[in-house]
Amino acid sequence: MTNSSVELKYQNQSLQLPVFEGTEGEKGVDISQLRAKTGLITLDPGFVNTGSCTSGITFIDGDKGILRYRGIPIEVLAERSNFLETSYLLIYGKLPTADELEKFTQRVKRHTMLHEDIKRFYDGFPRDAHPMAILGSVVCSLSVFYQHETGDPAYLAELNRVRLLAKLPTIAAYAYKKSVGQPFIYPDNSRSYCENFLYMMFSTPAERYEVDPDLIDTLNLLLILHADHEQNCSTATVRMVQSSGASMWASITAGICALSGPLHGGANQEVIEMLEQIHADGGNVKKYVDLAKSKESSFRLMGFGHRVYKNFDPRAKIIKTACDKLLKKMKVADPLLDIAKQLEEAALKDSYFIEKKLYPNVDFYSGIIYRAMGIPVNAFTVMFALGRLPGWLAQAKELNEDKATKIGRPRQVYTGPALSDYTPIEKRKA
């Protein structure tokens, strides 16, 4: 809290509203007493100017292209960390020692399997069921398998965080196997976190499968880049549900459901769908670049620009290098990838995109990489959820430990009819 304040004058009242300042200089006006003292509330559709909490997890400066987890730049973590270490950092607020990381990793490995009865749930899903719907359904159902556990609440909350980190890749891999009619592959706990997921996704009992180390490294990178992103739609949803005292299973399920919306988690899928549209139209990249620049056209280039980053997306710089390296090694012959490279080149050189700072973002490159890796397009959002899980867990933990936490209860400004009479049904006119 700073010593400064903002003065609000309304009718004959004058109210001093304290200004709260974060560690990076961000300032927010504390309006917690506004309604009680003036009868007023603030109106902010989408909450784009409203801070719902204070948080020590992730810092973003969209104008400068900065993203840090617990103070550590994303560029450093991408180069030097792995996903489970980054998860530990987000959840517990510090980098683990070698011993702490080893114990954490082994705990996660011990919980990768699903209860055998859960496999029967997959029999009830249609073969073409969307993987995100399956992911949310199965995560929510996990609550009934652990509903009678008793003991120290803090210990059980910690155990459930580990369980979620361990089981979500298994749930996701089973959803994919269901869609292609292949048998489920049990996790192999001798493998690393990302290697195990790729093993469950793409191996079969019929032949030996070795996971490409470069695919493991690339997946590690992608998950780290998506691990948290401040108070976005799904994260705010997790915190809102958790504020009611709901279980961790319910809160994470709510986050998965929020992420499934095309305006939030579907951006990298939309990139591939856009590339398919351009390919079906003869691959004329220039035509669609011109359409994107035309005020008369409704066409938008997906995967360019970002609501938060007004300069560049720091994650996109990192992932572009990985994308170029992986595609060069894999030598993937894919016309959509050729179109993507042409779009990237056009956007980076065209003055229109440069002036408007519409650079390729993390969704543009992640969609391309996932396609090259063999991940189905409708599972792209599932990959997003796998990466975002530790951020959700960290945010829920932070909320639970905040003594100032209250149940989320936004206000509204009513715009419906004023006091009205009840008209008997026989006197109502069509």
Residues catalogued as catalytic: 306, 363
As to burial, measured by CB atoms within 10 angstroms (0-12 exposed, 13-18 middle, 19+ buried), residue 349 is: exposed
Measured over all CA atoms, what is the biggest interatomic distance in the chain, rounded to whole angstroms? Answer: 80
Tokens 């510090």 label which residue? 94
Reference 87, options 396, 387, 402; nearest CA is 387
Reference 352, options 314, 297, 315; nearest CA is 297
Q: Which residues pair with 69 in a beta bridge?
A: 58, 72
Reference 105, options 172, 168, 190; nearest CA is 190
3-class DSSP state of 20:
strand
In this structure, the dihedral spanned by the alpha carbons of residues 154, 159, 384 and 318, taken in order and rounded to 10 degrees, is 80
Reference 340, options 291, 268, 290; nearest CA is 268
Residues 6 or more apart whose Cβ sits within 8 Å of residue 240: 254, 408
Opening angle at CA 90, ends 73 and 165, nearest 5: 130
Q: SS3 for 224-255, per residue?
A: HHCCCCCCCHHHHHHHHHHHCCCCHHHHHHHH
Opening angle at CA 326, ends 321 and 329, nearest 5: 125
The DSSP-derived string for 43-58 is: --GGGTT------SSE
The DSSP-derived string for 352-406 is: HHHHTT--B-HHHHHHHHHHHHT--GGGHHHHHHHHHHHHHHHHHHHHHH-TT--
Which two structure tokens, joined as six digits, stand for 238? Answer: 């997790």
Q: How far apart are CA 169 and CA 113, in angstroms?
A: 10
